């Protein structure tokens, strides 16, 4: 099987948001048996359902030869392990893991669409994604991530999150 570059969006707005994201990254590294490249972490306004706490968001990239449904199953397992409860569409969550892109592949079944169908509409995804690879081409819109960000109508705040890591 061919190796493909996978981009995953991570988000959390419940509990210790940074710890939730770091825990998810640890599980991604372990379950995909792969190193990851990480964007900065961003604090962002909620998208879709506004009456909730701000999110922390990040995008990670890794290489994999797994089929999209296997990737989705692994990410769903991580979400379940971390207590993700789906009560309200776009609602609060301990962790949200989205497949954003898988090379320039288009994939769709009843539960999964790649690239993520809202990727081009969300600054909280486009900004960290452009940090990792601004020249990446969206397989449907045939525009770079930077071009999509330039024309994105989302005006929500996306601010680089500054935190102090414990160096002990």
CATH number for the domain harbouring residue 127? 3.30.70.560
Q: Is there a catalytic annotation at residue 93?
A: yes
User: Helix axis angle, 68-81 relative to 17-32, nearest 10°?
Assistant: 140
What is the three-state SS of 76-115? HHHHHHCCCCCCCCCCCCCCEEEEEEECCCCEECCCCEEC
Tell me, yes or no, whether 165 lies in a domain.
no
Residue 167 has a pLDDT of 46
Residue 23 CA to residue 87 CA, distance in Å, equals: 22
Q: What is the pLDDT of residue 153?
A: 94
Distance CA 34, CA 28 (A): 8
What was the pLDDT predicted at 70? Answer: 96
Does 21 map to a domain? yes
| Two structure tokens written together for 38 | 């990480």
Any catalytic annotation for residue 16?
Answer: no
Question: Would the pTM of this model clear 0.85, i.e. be above it?
Answer: yes
Terminal Cα-to-Cα distance of the chain (whole angstroms): 41
- Please give the residue range of the domain that contains residue 13: 4-160
Is 132 within the bounds of a domain?
A: yes
**Are 64 and 4 spatial neighbours (Cβ–Cβ below 8 Å)?**
yes
* Rounded Cα–Cα distance for residues 61 and 44 (Å): 20
Instruction: Answer yes or no: is 168 within a domain.
Output: no
Annotated catalytic residue 86 = no
Structure tokens at 123: 């600054």
Count of residues in the chain: 168
Active site residue 84: yes
Catalytic residue among 84, 122, 123, 133: 84
Residue 152 lies in a domain: yes
Q: What's the structural domain count of the chain?
A: 1
Q: Is residue 53 part of a domain?
A: yes
Which residue is catalytic, options 16, 17, 86, 96?
A: 96
Q: Which of 17, 93, 122, 123 is catalytic?
A: 93
- For 52, other C-beta atoms within 10 Å of its C-beta total 16
Catalytic residue among 16, 17, 86, 98: 98
pLDDT of residue 165: 54
In a domain, 114, yes or no: yes
Residues 131/37, Cβ–Cβ less than 8 Å: no
Reading the chain (168 residues) residue by residue, the pLDDT tens digits are: 688 999 999 999 989 999 999 999 999 999 999 999 999 999 998 766 566 689 999 999 999 999 999 999 999 999 988 876 666 555 577 899 999 999 888 999 999 999 999 999 999 999 999 999 999 999 999 999 999 999 999 999 999 998 755 444
Contacts of 154 (CB under 8 A, 6+ apart): 47, 121, 122, 123, 124
167 in a domain, yes or no?
no
- pLDDT at position 93: 78
Signed CA dihedral, 17, 18, 23, 24: sign only: positive
């Amino acid at each position: 099987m061919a190796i493909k570059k996978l981009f995953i969006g991570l988000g959390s707005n419940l509990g210790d948001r940074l710890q939730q994201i770091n825990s998810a990254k640890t599980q991604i590294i372990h379950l995909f048996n792969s190193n990851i490249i990480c964007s900065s972490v961003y604090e962002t306004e909620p998208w879709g359902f506004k009456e909730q706490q701000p999110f922390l968001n990040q995008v990670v990239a890794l290489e994999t030869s797994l089929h999209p449904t296997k990737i989705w199953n692994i990410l769903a397992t991580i979400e379940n392990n971390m207590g993700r409860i789906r009560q309200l569409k776009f609602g609060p969550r301990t962790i949200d893991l989205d497949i954003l892109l898988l090379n320039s592949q288009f994939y769709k079944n009843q539960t999964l669409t790649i690239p993520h169908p809202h990727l081009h509409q969300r600054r909280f995804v486009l900004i960290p994604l452009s940090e990792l690879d601004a020249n990446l081409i969206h397989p449907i819109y045939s525009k770079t991530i930077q071009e999509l960000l330039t024309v994105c109508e989302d005006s929500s705040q996306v601010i680089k999150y500054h935190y102090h890591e414990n160096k002990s």
